[in-house]
Structure 1
Amino acid sequence: MTSQMTLTKEGEQPENPGQPSSPDGLKAGLKNRHLSMIAIGGVIGAGLFAGSSSGIAAAGPAILVSYALVGLMVVLVMRMLGEMAAANPSSGSFSAYADRALGRWAGFSIGWLYWFFWVVVLAVEATIAAEILEGWLPSVPQWGWALLVMVVLTATNLASVASYGEFEFWFAGIKVVAIGAFVVVGGLAVFGLLPGSDNPGAGLSYLTSEGGFFPMGYGAILTGILMVVFSFMGSEIVTLAAGESADPQRAVSRATNSVIWRVAVFYLGSIFVVLTLLPWNSKEILDDGSYVAALKSIGIPHAGELMNFIILTAVLSCLNSGLYTASRMAFSLGQRGDAPASFAKVNARGVPMAAILSSVAFGFLAVFFNYKWPDTVFEFLLNSSGAVALFVWLVICVTQLRMRGIILRESPERLVVRMWLFPYLTYATIAMISFVIVYMLFDDKGRQQMLLSLLAAGVVLTVGIARDRHRRRTADPAARSAG
């Protein structure tokens, strides 16, 4: 398949209208409600529930600034990605756009790095799910739960894209309702409007009472950024999924326009509630986790068990979407000749079976590494994929600078989503992401992860450039002989 992407002209109909399919052969089996929930739930990962307490401990109330800055960065990146995806929906999303705008080496490199990130995430999330389930039913060993969870979600993805969409609709729906209810109930308690609440100290004063709003100094904002930035990964999934819907342009436009309130409510809103229900340095936040501690402070019974159920749904949602995302990226790489050709084949149900099975196979291997060598092999995999989110966002920004001109030349009517204040905000976002990458190199906790991630990126990039040069050398003689 050629690396040149063709913008589908408005009004064109796909082949075989009786069996809707996306331009790349995948079945258009995702409904609007599936995509809406994928878009909303994509920004709510298990990291929000499980990792926010460490961020609060590191920065105090100033962690709100960290979340706001990372949230702004994600909003801008999603706007850029939305501009490209609305103009040309693709299962390869930013990898396919980088392929065209920057070169084959770029699409190859960022596509494989992104695939690597998600297959490692599969192992992390399967392990978390197994720990929760083992706590409920200890008669089944942890590895048994991990195996069961992976097998069930693999079967779901193999069945059809509609099955993935339906599972994700309910998984994401539970965590969206849960976090929304938390913000509403917690907000009522903060302002003294919740009947029966037994937390008389709750209020805005907690934001400044324990050492001020910046108890750890202004530099803690940067430390907080490093701790929360990776919990935002996943917001871009909807742009991959949109290619398997009946109206991808509309789906991408809606998802892009709604990302601001999603970040504001789910991240800033929920962390604000935690910080106004309890002092940031309270022992309960570190011992129980921020959300459990907040629920207990207002007298919600069985808060720990309730939060474990919500975290489990968030983990299953992440697993489900991670497998889907990794397989679709592998499918796109196969289409472009950057992965085995079998990855680009779909079965009668419009599912890329080889891409799914290869992705889950590496996920199973990573789970094995996590149980066998957690502090060596698996830690290396975890650290070497940890900063991929930042690399992906940086590539999206640079790609959008080039793709805007391509879209305007070829099909300007497709530019229905536009990046604000182009190109100034694009350059500002590139500077923000670059600053975080450089800062990680000088941070004691982030240095190893960034160095190993740069090592992984360097290896993949070297292979991508070598493949690109080999492809050009073999193509040139053929072109001269044809001429």
Structure 2
Amino acid sequence: MSHQQTELKKDLKIRHITMISLGGIIGAGLFVGSGSLINSAGPASIFSYVFAGLLVVLVMRMLGEMSIVNPTSGSFSTYAREAMGPWAGYTIGWLYWFFWVIVIAVEAIGGSNIIQYWFPSWPSWSVSLALTLLLTLTNLYSVKSYGEFEYWFSLIKVVSIVLFLALGGAIIFGLIPHVHSPGTSNILHRGGFMPHGFSSIFVGIALVMFSFMGSEIVAIAAGETSHPEKAITVATNSVIYRILIFYLGSILVLVTVLPWNSTTLLKNPFVSVLNVLNIPAAGQIMNFIVLTAVLSCLNSGLYTSSRMLFAMAQNGDAPRAFSKVNKRGVPVYAILGCTVVSFISVIFNYLSPDKIFLFLVNASGGVALLVYLVIAFSQLRLRRKYEKEKPEALKIKMWLFPYLTYATILVIAVVLIMQAFIDSLRSQFYLTALIAVCVVGSYFVFKNKRSTNTLPDKQVV
């Protein structure tokens, strides 16, 4: 064993980071989940995406400000520790880790369901296991292999969305012969733009925030590139047009081309738009694209959860074994630990889908908002510290500080509390709160057992 390699290897290139940031927010939630939101809020669902997107832009600006001063795989867990104390870093780190290991399980199950569309005789549990193991191997090999897989996954998603927007625009503007343009009829003539009232927009915001989770991955990945400043700048500055083009553009096409009150068409909205054009095998094409989105999310979930576990182990917030790296700079035990926990969750889906697995999924549902809230509080406190100690490092700054930061904190808090009053989100709110209280409690229970919060040495396997 060598004792020279003690750090994560900085093998991610700018093209990897750029594509990870582009594709990070394009998940199965956009391709499939957008239909149910449009069906519940009508054309006004576009405002749900606008408000949620604005929040994500502001939070990413704050995260970019902190990341460019201190690029680290611990990301906002490290910043929370620095800003609010060890308990905050411990709590948000474990909650974020919990969120992503559950996402890995959910995406593995989703991927197996899609593959069964082509191979119905294959057992679902074995396909889930195979997908998880395949992407675990790519993550174990090197961070560069993760970056390459994610680069191509993201490229497929981005190209697909761009083509979809072009086709949707051609339908709307009547540029395709023999295809009727709906004009504004689906937006204005089916109960109006806001058929279920203003409140439906706010219900949608809470649902949309979950879809945007993944934007922050680039801040974690920046710790493994040799050009973190450039990577963070590219990702932070591009988040606005990413959300504008990919999400808002897609939703605008969907609500214009498809009637919002058609449950049949919105069950798989992207396929329905392709069917308007009589594109052969539209379902097959979209299934492949959704599978790509699912595998991308699974891949990123393994990467993100393992890096957070690695960073927490370095800080003494997780078992020391998870801080070990091999000669290629890969945190092997952290990756394997996340894989094992995720597959146990997959097993729960088959043994107890309506109890244990449903509990895990609902308990992780509100974590996105908690993470964004902690990022905002951390930036509020660290900005003043950075201005005193190293103002020259503030290459990216939050706009209108501190007013926009306060406004962001207020809005996120309102959206979070509002979940308790929405029937479909109430159980998610209380279960996430329960998990958060348990994690905070565990910090104080085990506090005296941890001799230090920072390990003296990183280890190599």
Short-chain TM bin: over 0.9
Secondary structure of 1:420's counterpart equals coil
From 124, 128, 139, the counterpart of 1:142: 124
User: Structure 2 CA distance, aligned partners of 1:213 and 1:134?
Assistant: 38
For residue 134 of structure 1, report the CA deviation from its aligned partner: 1.3
Partner of 2:86: 104
What is the RMSD computed on CA atoms of the aligned residues? Answer: 1.7
**Contact 2:173–2:181 (8 Å) recurs in 1:** no
Secondary structure of 1:446's counterpart equals helix
Cα deviation 1:264-319 (Å, max 9, x = unaligned): 111110010011112211243234x1111111122222211111100000000000
Partner of 1:85: 67
From 411, 436, 439, the counterpart of 2:415: 436
**Contact 1:386–1:449 (8 Å) recurs in 2:** yes
For residue 471 of structure 1, report the CA deviation from its aligned partner: 6.0
TM-score normalised by structure 1 residue count: 0.91
Superposition pairs of residues 150-161 of structure 1, within 5 angstroms: 150-161=132-143
User: Structure 2 CA distance, aligned partners of 1:471 and 1:413?
Assistant: 36
TM-score normalised by structure 2 residue count: 0.95
For residue 159 of structure 1, report the CA deviation from its aligned partner: 0.1
1:225 aligns with 2:225: no
Secondary structure of 2:261's counterpart equals coil
For residue 399 of structure 1, report the CA deviation from its aligned partner: 0.4
Partner of 2:245: 265
User: Structure 2 CA distance, aligned partners of 1:283 and 1:36?
Assistant: 36
User: Structure 1 CA distance, aligned partners of 2:178 and 2:73?
Assistant: 48
Partner of 2:338: 359
Superposition pairs of residues 15-414 of structure 1, within 5 angstroms: 25-194=7-176, 196=177, 198=179, 200-287=180-267, 289-414=268-393
User: Structure 1 CA distance, aligned partners of 2:155 and 2:350?
Assistant: 31
**Contact 2:157–2:289 (8 Å) recurs in 1:** yes
For residue 188 of structure 1, report the CA deviation from its aligned partner: 1.4
For residue 204 of structure 1, report the CA deviation from its aligned partner: 2.7
Letter in 2 for 1:215: P
Q: What is the number of equivalent residue pairs in this alignment? A: 451
**Contact 1:114–1:326 (8 Å) recurs in 2:** yes
Partner of 1:450: 429
Superposition pairs of residues 460-475 of structure 1, within 5 angstroms: 460-468=439-447
Cα deviation 1:95-148 (Å, max 9, x = unaligned): 001011100000000000000000001110000100111111123211111111
**Contact 2:260–2:266 (8 Å) recurs in 1:** no
Letter in 2 for 1:144: S
Query: Identity over the aligned pairs, expressed in percent?
Result: 54
User: Structure 2 CA distance, aligned partners of 1:290 and 1:228?
Assistant: 16
**Contact 2:316–2:450 (8 Å) recurs in 1:** no
Distance 1:283 1:115, change over 3 A: closer
User: Structure 2 CA distance, aligned partners of 1:471 and 1:108?
Assistant: 12
Letter in 2 for 1:243: G
User: Structure 2 CA distance, aligned partners of 1:278 and 1:426?
Assistant: 37
User: Structure 1 CA distance, aligned partners of 2:370 and 2:336?
Assistant: 26
Letter in 2 for 1:249: E
Runs of 5+ consecutive residues of structure 1 not aligned to the other structure: 1-15, 476-483
Runs of 5+ consecutive residues of structure 2 not aligned to the other structure: 454-461
User: Structure 1 CA distance, aligned partners of 2:160 and 2:420?
Assistant: 36
**Contact 1:240–1:328 (8 Å) recurs in 2:** yes
Secondary structure of 1:90's counterpart equals coil
For residue 224 of structure 1, report the CA deviation from its aligned partner: 1.5
Cα deviation 1:195-253 (Å, max 9, x = unaligned): x452x142233211111100111111112222222111110000000110010011001
User: Structure 1 CA distance, aligned partners of 2:196 and 2:271?
Assistant: 24
Partner of 1:481: none
